[in-house]
Amino acid sequence: MRKILGLVAIMTIATTAFTYAQSKTDVALNQVLTAYYDVKNALATDKKDLAIEKVKVLSTKINAVNHKDLPADKHKIFMEQAAIIKSKSAQLAGSTDIKAQRKAFEGISYAMIKTLKALKFNSQTVYVQHCPMAKASWLNEKENIENPYYGSMMFDCGDVSETIKSK
């Protein structure tokens, strides 16, 4: 009986430790998502200087994710997409041309979409939106379209192509 209780206790501790580590990683990934939204919102409102400031925060947040706690398959996806996000963030931060910033943001968006779908970490509903004119997609925290690729020229151009419910 003691062996069984001991085994149950060990399994409970191990499961709790994994869940706790996973939830800490999820919290960090949700902070990345919030930072991403800040970049999207800056571009959607044509604020290129703010986009530079916010994309630096995004890079900091992606670096802060404790990815070592992720299962091997998810870790591989995270590492690949994080490298793209960091590279495209550096491109965006290094440009004062809003068209170039938006092109870099497109790469960030596709990496974020792939990461979110693979790791399923979102604590709130996320809307994948698509602009047919830009032929590009992005994530939004709201169902209403806020187009980061055209900003004020076509703020509400696009549609919701997918809804990702919170986990």
Residue 167: per-residue pLDDT: 77
State the pTM of this model. Answer: 0.86
Domain borders along the chain are 24-164
Name beta bridge partners: 137: 130
pLDDT at 21 over 50: no
- Give the pLDDT confidence of 111-144 residue by residue, as tens digits: 999 999 999 999 999 999 999 999 999 999 999 9
Where is 128: in which H helix or E strand?
A: strand 126-131
pLDDT-derived band at 3 (thresholds 50, 70, 90) equals low
pLDDT-derived band at 17 (thresholds 50, 70, 90) equals very low
- Give the pLDDT confidence of 63-82 residue by residue, as tens digits: 999 998 899 999 999 999 99
Distance CA 98, CA 84 (A): 19
Where is 160: in which H helix or E strand?
A: strand 159-164
For the chain, the 3-state helix, strand and coil shares in percent, each to the nearest 5, are: 65, 10, 25
- For 39, counting Cβ atoms within 10 Å of its Cβ (0-12 exposed, 13-18 middle, 19+ buried), the class is buried
Residue 15: per-residue pLDDT: 42
Determine phi and psi for 156, rounding to 5 degrees: -105, 25
CA atoms within 13 A on the CB side of 97: 5
Q: 81-98 b/e with 16+ CB inside 10 Å = b?
A: bbebbbebbebbbebeeb
